[in-house]
Amino acid sequence: MQQRSLRICIITDAWHPQVNGVVRTLDTLRHELKARGHKVFMLTPKLFSTMPLPTYPEIKIALNARRRTAAILDRWQVDAIHIATEGPLGWAGRAWCLKHDRPFTTAYHTAFPEYVEARFPVKADWIYPLFRRFHAKSSGVLVATQTVRTLLSDKGFGNIVEWTRGVDTNQFHPDLRGSQSEMQGMEGPVQLYVGRVAVEKNIEAFLKSQVPGTKVVVGDGPALKKLQADYPDVRFLGPKFGEDLAAAYASADVFVFPSKTDTFGLVMIEALACGTPVAAYPVQGPLDVVGADGTGPFEDWTTPIAALDADLDTAIRSALTCDRDAAASFARLYSWQAVTDQFLAALAA
């Protein structure tokens, strides 16, 4: 039986022009929902006066969030509400839903307590009670991996719902290998990092690695200038989008994911979709996406497409031996059809 068309509001403090996995996930989800006939309303900082987030000036946070959010939601008259982030808009949306006795779902995209601990003298365990309170009234807390599900359960979170991630294989594919002009002629193996250039991403672990070749960083963030000064031999290409981003993935010989705090790591399956194997630490995110042995979480898949090791140099060298065609085939198992189905099922519940 075909599901009726819904008026869905997604509330998120993370939105364009930010460049990260949360924004790409929500933007692609919006397109998938609209393709199924649903009407999607994005409540984002673009609708508000904003100020720069301290220590993250490129991220804008909404001002007067509670009052204006209430006025917007009163006007939009939506059927379902999903709150994607725990920022000012997330708290404002939560307050409106509780006041009007409206059910809502939330998502745990980012290990924000660990991010704060990486930047300030504040323990992550001091922050978790606030996040547990934020999600406590949610009818479903959507999480991407079993590791995060276990972590949140251990921290006292309830109503946890599986919500995987997907990759657009029409945009990310191996045919673009060699088409990134800035990467042509680089001494191999070309080792690539894509993402925010910030201290919590542990990028220096990659930049300090001793594997010969060329290290490339694609992205922007508050740590960029310092890393450029400290590592003059590394090629910093700035942020890339669309086909340029996909071409960068495809043109690398290995994708290095040094983060120890990401809850998923969408960039890993984007790289794999472009035929580029992944090297990472055996921590949350990589363990769930590519598996401890590099063969992923799917029972019928046995070919290594990644390498995880506590020594990042060892992981990089091992990943360089993985089959590129297998990596691209593996990424196709991460379907946006499944992502959208799980999201709608959580709303319905």
Pull the structure tokens for residue 206: 């990659």
Strands 80-83 and 7-11, by their bridges, are parallel
Residue extents of the structural domains in the chain? 7-166+335-348, 174-331
- For tokens 């921290």, the residue is 155
Query: Is this prediction's pTM over 0.85?
Result: yes
CA 230/CA 234 separation, integer angstroms:
9
Q: What is the pLDDT of residues 44-79, one digit of tens each?
A: 999 999 999 887 787 899 999 999 999 999 999 999
Give 1's pLDDT tier (boundaries 50, 70, 90): very low
Q: Please tell me the class of the 7-166+335-348 domain.
A: alpha beta
Q: What is the pLDDT of residues 135-171, one digit of tens each?
A: 999 999 999 999 999 999 999 999 999 999 999 999 9
- Is 313 exposed, middle or buried (CB count within 10 Å of its CB: 0-12, 13-18, 19+)? middle
Q: What is the pLDDT of residues 248-305, one digit of tens each?
A: 999 999 999 999 989 899 999 999 999 999 999 999 999 999 999 999 999 899 999 9
Please report, as a single letter, which amino acid is at residue 292: A
Cβ(219)–Cβ(288) under 8 Å?
Answer: no
Distance from the Cα of residue 7 to its chain's centroid: 25
Smallest Cα–Cα separation from 43: which of 104, 127, 110, 128? 104
What is 100-147 written as a DSSP string?
A: TT---EEE--S-HHHHHHHHSS--HHHHHHHHHHHHHT-SEEEES-HH
Pull the structure tokens for residue 216: 């490339």
CA 143/CA 169 separation, integer angstroms:
23
Superfamily of domain 174-331: Glycogen Phosphorylase B; (3.40.50.2000)
Pull the structure tokens for residue 276: 């580029």
